[in-house]
Amino acid sequence: MRLSVLGCSGGIGGSSHTTTLLVDQDILIDAGTGLNELSLSELCEIDHVFLTHSHLDHICCLPFLVDSVGWMRDRPLTVYASGATIETLRNHIFNWSIWPDFSEIPNVKQPIMRFREIGLGEVVELQGRRIRALPATHTVPAVGYHLDSGQGSLVFSGDTHVNDDLWELVNQIENLRYLIIETAFSEKERALADLSLHLCPSLLAGELAKFRGDAEVYITHLKPGEVDLTMQEIERHVQQSPPKMLLNNQVLEF
């Protein structure tokens, strides 16, 4: 499997794009502003979108994706998410007031887009590639994902706070090569991290102390104005093998 980072920032500005991870050419993990990096023909190749949760920075380009290329495709775009996330999207985005409900266009039996609920621990297999929903701790129902090619694995935490349940599962993965975990705030915003259920460097250090693997660790969801500060604080708090910053256009193969 080949994961291409189209967006990994906690905000926008300049070259910063919000969370958008392309797996091979046909699977998307979240649908943030990074989708702007793809051409129309590349957008057409996306068949599956796995959402971590309903927050705007992770779903904002999904309505544009289906509207832009849905009519060019001969099969529906499948959106995988928790039941709660799907309900939020139906009620607040694809509700005919904010955006058309493409799960009913051109008709319910043959829609341009369809939703498929994925439960915690459930595995979706797509041509030998396995994608499993992992627990996340956030202000809205959320998940992370475990991607397994059979030869190697990658875990993406999604937006999360302190999360013992995640590590119990991650530590059982024998072929884990990459771990992508968020750190949204610097230390001065520790209270905000706790309130919004995100990580800051000291919380990240506590979480990584629970990790028993030797995978490469990458940090995502950094705020554009605090990237250098937060990474410096991560280096101070995570003494052994400090994580690296995930970068736009980076490619991870496993």
pLDDT of 118 over the 90 cut: yes
**Three-class secondary structure of residue 167 per DSSP:** helix
Share of the chain above pLDDT 90, in %: 98
Domain range enclosing 30: 2-253
**CA atoms of 145 and 20, how far apart (whole Å):** 13
**CA atoms of 82 and 120, how far apart (whole Å):** 8
**CA atoms of 219 and 204, how far apart (whole Å):** 10
Share of the chain above pLDDT 70, in %: 100
Angle at alpha carbon of residue 26, lines to 21 and 30, rounded to 5°: 30
pTM of the model: 0.97
Domain count, the chain: 1
pLDDT of 134 over the 90 cut: yes
**With left for phi above 0 and alpha for psi between -120 and 50, is residue 62 left, alpha or beta?**
alpha
Q: State residue 221's pLDDT score.
A: 98
Q: What is the CATH number of the domain that holds 142?
A: 3.60.15.10
pLDDT, tens digit (0-9, with 9 covering 90-100), for 207-225: 999 999 999 999 999 999 9
Residues with Cβ < 8 Å from 109, sequence gap 6 or more? Answer: none
- What is the rounded average pLDDT of the residues 122-139? 98
Residues with Cβ < 8 Å from 71, sequence gap 6 or more? Answer: 112
pLDDT, tens digit (0-9, with 9 covering 90-100), for 141-195: 999 999 999 999 999 999 999 999 999 999 999 999 999 999 999 999 999 999 9
Q: State residue 241's pLDDT score.
A: 85
Give, as one character, the DSSP assignment of residue 242. Answer: P
